[in-house]
Structures are given as C-alpha cells and as structure tokens.
Amino acid sequence: MLSEERNQFLCSTDPGTPMGGLMRRYWAPFLLSSELPEPDCPPVRARLMGEDLIAFRDTKGRLGLIDEFCAHRGVSLWYGRNEECGIRCPYHGWKYDVTGQCVELPSEDDSTGTRQRIKLKSYACIEKAGIIWAYMGPPEQQPPEPALEWTNVAPEQLYVSKRLQECNYLQAMEGGIDSSHVSWLHGSSLQNDPLFVGSKGNQYNEEDRMPLFEVEAFEGGILIGARRNAENNQYYWRITPWIMPWYSLIPPRAGHPIGGHAWVPIDDGNCWAWSINYHPSRDLTADERAAMEAGKGIHVTYVPGTFIPTANMRNDYLMDRDAQKAGRTYSGVEGIAMQDASLQESMGPIQNRTMENLCLTDTGIAMARSELIRAANANAKGEPIKGLTPEHQKVRSVAIELPKDVNFVDGSKHGLFPEPGSDPLTV
C-alpha cells in the first residue's frame, strides 16, 4: 500500500506539482489530426494536466495551443472566430496568433504598446502519426519528437483511437501493465474477438492463471515479463514494455497487430486513453481496420459526437448479468477496453491506495510507481530522466515461448529491440 502523501504525489499532475513537472517534459498526444481537419476550422477545447486550453489550426495550417480565456475579460476563445492567421474573441475583437501573442486590439491605438504586452500562455505543437502532440515543459528542454515504433510506420499500418476515461491516469495505466487479470477479465473475449482469436497464447492464459512476474529496467522505462507454463517444458512469456511516462505496448497474439496505449492526464480525475494498433511489417487488412472501427480489440464505439464510450458509468457500462452468469463475459461488460475501464473507474476518480494489498503479480505496478517517483524527483533537481530520446523509445512488445532456463530479456532481445520493419515475435 501507499501512504496518502505518496499517492497524492503520483496522481497530481496540475501545474506546480512534481509529477506535473515531470509529465510536461514529454510530448503529450491530445488531439487526433481529424479534430482540426483544415485551416481556419473551428477551435477545440483541450484540457491537459489541469490546464484549460484552446487548440486551433490557422490559415497557414500552423497549430496553436493557447490559454482558453481572452486576456481582456476572460471570455472563452472556444466561441471565437478562427480567421486570417489568428483566433478572434467575439466580445471585443481581440485577436491572438498561434504563439498566444495579441495581434489585433481594435479598441487601442498601437502607439500605447498595450497590444504588444498582451500574450496568452502557449505551448508548442507537432503533428505525427495522425495525432497532434503538445509540449508543455520548459522551451529550452524541448525533446526530440516522439519516436515510438508506431509513430514511424506508414498510415496503412496504423490505427489510432482515443476515449475519455473518467479516472486518474495512474489507475488506468496500472491496469494496462497488469497481465495477471487477462485470464479472468478478458478470458472469453480472447476466444471471440477477431483481433485476438487463433493464438496459442489464449490456451496458455486459460490453463495457467497464476503467472509469475519478472521485471527489468531499461533506458526507456521497464520491461514486465509475465510467465506461464507452456508445452514442451517451456515457458510462455508476454513481455510488456512500459515507456516513460504513460505508454505501454501489448504483446501480439498469433499474427494480429501489436497493441499499445497512452494514458494522458486531462486533470486528476480524468484522462485520455489512447489505443493504438499497428503492424511493423505489413498494412492492416480491411477486416482488421473494420473491426477496430467497430470497437473491437482495445477500441470502443462512442456516444455520437463525443469521445465518451457508448458503454459508460452513466449506463453501468451496459452490463449484462445474464451474460456474466452464463460465462459469455466474465464481468458482464462487452469489449476488452470497457471491461478494463469499468473496473478502473469503479475505484473512484483517484484510487485510495492506502487500502490496497499488493501481491507478487503486482511487481510491475510497484516498479512503475517507483520509476515515476524517482523521475519526478530527478526532474525537480535538474537531473536526467528516462524516455526522452528516440533511442529510449525504440522497443517492442513480445510474446514468445522460451526454455525454462533462459532469461526472458536475453531470450527475446531480438524481438524487444528489433530491426525496423521486421516481423514481431508472437505466439
């Protein structure tokens, strides 16, 4: 269990907090490119790590992420007009460019110098892999652009979605690096979901529900190995990389695409759950893409016009007690993503970790917490932190059968740190 103080340290990402300072050192995915589809399109509200912001694409296609509220009298610029390389407040016509600089102040003569002194908070943005990313840390410490493998494959090899998750990022992320629950919560889905069927690993998950965990650090984060008994006197390993500060990669099953997640704080009680599928050596098939669009695998369907899942806390996740009792779904909730989210959200906006009782299967969770705390303290002291450089992010998830006397990292290194474009290691 954690103390209340340490739990608060991990979960709080507002400006001025140690964890907020750490997370602002990384590029944060916050919008799909399709949310700002063209120059001068309507702006989008973007709440990130407790800050209320407005994102827009200007007349020249440049991206802006600035304070939501006009410096004049606090009007939300979401109501503004995006025109002629700036967003104009509809109240009195004050206009701001993508850097937050006030470029027009109709009620004041420029000779007063008032306009030049007015500049809203703004953050750097880039566009990559169909996503708009923000850097919210010190400008002089801006890192290279994200280099996770899925950010560098062709669009035909990649599918990305996001959904609102109504809880703190940490309990969502911890669910993503916990392989022990798969045999229970997702057991029936592994046999039926088109993005998971056909894997020998599904059998191993069903037959051995007591995985043993080994965890090793690497320069980008940690490698979490979940070991189950396999045939021919071997172990079946599922190796999940957790990459600082909020990424995980899901080991593939059979020939299906690799999965991944990012959990980016909106505020302390909500996060964006990003879900990624990609294949490093081939295009996604039409059937795979159709399944992802239909909410299969790690994706969801939505309340129309939103990123709120169709199954959500306000409708009890469309829970089906008959299906639960009959064993068609272990929890009564359909879909892997919402099976996870329903239980993570049930812990409350911020899990009370002073009451938990961790066990050996939680080794990866405990180590990830320690890594985050260590990194936040190091960042506050100006010391180096993990996961910022492209070399730290070039890792892949692996599913593999290995002889019992082989270390899981040594035996799978060629799959964990592969040549670009090579086939994944999968079972």
Asked if residue 344 and residue 252 are part of one domain, the reply reads yes
Q: Is the pLDDT of residue 402 over 80?
A: yes
Domain annotation covers residue 9 = no
d(CA 145, CA 344): 30
How is residue 152 written in tokens?
């560098």
For 241, the domain range is: 149-416
- Band of residue 206 on the pLDDT scale cut at 50, 70, 90: confident
- Share of residues in the chain with pLDDT > 90 (%): 88
Mean pLDDT of the residues in the chain: 95
Using 50, 70 and 90 to split pLDDT, how confident is the model at 279?
very high
Instruction: Tell me what pLDDT residue 114 has.
Output: 94
Q: What is the pLDDT of residues 101-144, one digit of tens each?
A: 999 999 888 889 999 999 999 999 999 999 999 999 999 999 99
Do 73 and 179 share a structural domain? no
The CATH number of residue 223's host domain is 3.90.380.10
In a shared domain, residues 169 and 305: yes
Amino acid 331: pLDDT: 86
Encode pLDDT of 306-345 as tens digits. Answer: 999 999 999 999 999 998 888 888 888 999 999 999 999 9
| Residue whose pair of structure tokens reads 């300072």 in the numeric block | 21
Residues contacting residue 234 through CB under 8 Å, at least 6 positions apart: 401, 402, 403, 404
Same domain, residue pair 103 and 155: no
Please name the helix (run of DSSP H) or strand (run of DSSP E) that holds residue 247, with its range, or none: strand 247-250
- Based on the fold, state whether residues 273 and 187 are members of the same structural domain: yes
- pLDDT of 140 reads 97
Reported as a single tens digit per residue, the pLDDT across 152-195 is 999 999 999 999 999 999 999 999 888 778 767 886 777 788 99
73 belongs to a structural domain = yes
112 and 193: one domain? no
135 and 156 share one domain: no
Structural contact between residues 54 and 87, judged by C-beta atoms closer than 8 angstroms: yes
- Residue 187 confidence (pLDDT): 67
Is 123 found in the same domain as 180?
no
**Is there a domain that residue 194 lies in?**
yes
Answer whether residue 355 is part of any domain.
Answer: yes
Tell me: do 229 and 184 sit in the same domain: yes
Both 41 and 177 in one domain: the answer is no
How confident is the model at residue 292, as a pLDDT? Answer: 98
pLDDT of residue 189: 76
Same domain? For 330 and 261 the reply is yes
- Kindly tell me the number of DSSP H helices and DSSP E strands found in the chain: 13, 18
Residues 201 and 75 grouped into a single domain:
no
Domain stop point among 106, 122, 141 = 141
58-108 pLDDT per residue, tens: 999 999 999 999 999 999 999 999 999 999 999 999 999 999 999 999 988
Domain count, the chain: 2
Residues in contact with 360: Cβ distance below 8 Å, sequence separation at least 6, in sequence order? 212, 213
pTM value? 0.95
Q: Quick check: 407 pLDDT over 70?
A: yes
If you average pLDDT over residues 224-239, what whole number do you get? 96
Q: Is 85 helix (H, G, I), strand (E, B) or coil?
A: coil
Query: What band does 409 get if pLDDT is binned at 50, 70 and 90?
Result: very high
Question: Lowest-pLDDT range, 193-197, 234-238, 392-396?
Answer: 193-197
